[in-house]
Amino acid sequence: MSLKWQTAGVAVVMSMLAMGAARADDQEGPWEVRLRAVYLAFAQKSDAVPALAVPSDAIHVNDKWIPDVDIEYFFTPNWSSELVLTYPQKQTVTVEKSALGGPTEIGTFKHLPPTLTVKYNFIPGGVVRPYVGIGINLTLISDVNLAVPTVPPIPLKLDSTSVGFAGQAGLDWQLAPHWYANADVKWVQLGTDVKTVASDGTQTKVSHATLNPWLLGIGFGYRF
């Protein structure tokens, strides 16, 4: 065999090895972790409280940016499951109009809203990978510090938990092997009764707040 053909053969083998190494380096496993900034926008729906001259939809919870971390596992190239986590978020409650005037800030509470969804990924091998998902949200409400600012103040309580439907849509955009930019929209079913607390501890429901937030997220992910 001539030196020319030997050189050509070596070049072909080296090219094949390089391509194989690149494929091995780009091989993605079943786990992806994302870090996102999420804008939390509540529905601001609530029942009227006639005794306090509070009209419908006057109980507002502040919208805000929050961080979240999500962990996703791919069962198949198309099907996966995502768990979204954050730390307890403090929210401020305002009554826009009442017998006391308004807007009137009536206190704060914290909520922890882990969400689990099952997702369908439309183009698992593409540079742009859109997906949709459905699942369930469990919101844990704590540190409720709310009161009607009368003299003396009337303490208020919220339900400690809310369980509801969650839906999402979004996309991953591959920036480099294993690295992705992410845009995600979720809608979560979330509601709570609002109750007054008498001096003897008796609780009386006075309203129901339907919060049903939209969560608009942007961030980055790494596929292991």
Give all strands (DSSP E) within the chain, no chain letters. Answer: 31-41, 45-46, 59-61, 64-74, 79-85, 89-95, 104-112, 115-121, 128-148, 154-158, 161-176, 179-188, 191-197, 203-210, 214-223
The answer to whether the bond into 153 is cis (omega within 30° of 0) is: no
Dist. CA 182–CA 173, nearest whole Å: 6
Residue 17: predicted pLDDT: 34
* pLDDT at residue 121 is higher than 70: yes
Q: Please tell me whether residue 4 adopts helix, strand or coil conformation.
A: helix
**Residue 188 in contact with residue 164, Cβ under 8 Å?**
yes
β-bridge mates for residue 36, sequence order:
68, 219
* pLDDT at residue 131 is higher than 60: yes
Question: What are phi and psi for residue 52, nearest 5 degrees?
Answer: -110, 10
Among 12-16, 26-30, 171-175, the range scoring the smallest mean pLDDT is: 12-16
pLDDT band at 26 (very low <50, low <70, confident <90, very high): low
Dist. CA 197–CA 204, nearest whole Å: 7
Dist. CA 184–CA 220, nearest whole Å: 11
Dist. CA 70–CA 68, nearest whole Å: 7
The domain 29-223 is classified under which CATH number: 3.90.1150.10, 2.30.30.100, 2.40.160.20, 3.30.1280.10? 2.40.160.20
Q: 179 to each of 21, 222, 224, how far by Cα in Å?
A: 18, 5, 9
Q: Please tell me whether residue 150 adopts helix, strand or coil conformation.
A: coil
Residue 221: predicted pLDDT: 98
pLDDT band at 20 (very low <50, low <70, confident <90, very high): very low
Residues 101-117 have pLDDT tens digits of 989 999 999 999 999 99
Residue % of the chain over a pLDDT of 90: 85
Q: What is the pTM of this model?
A: 0.85
Pairing of strands 115-121, 179-188: unpaired
Residues 154-188 have pLDDT tens digits of 999 999 999 999 999 999 999 999 999 999 999 99
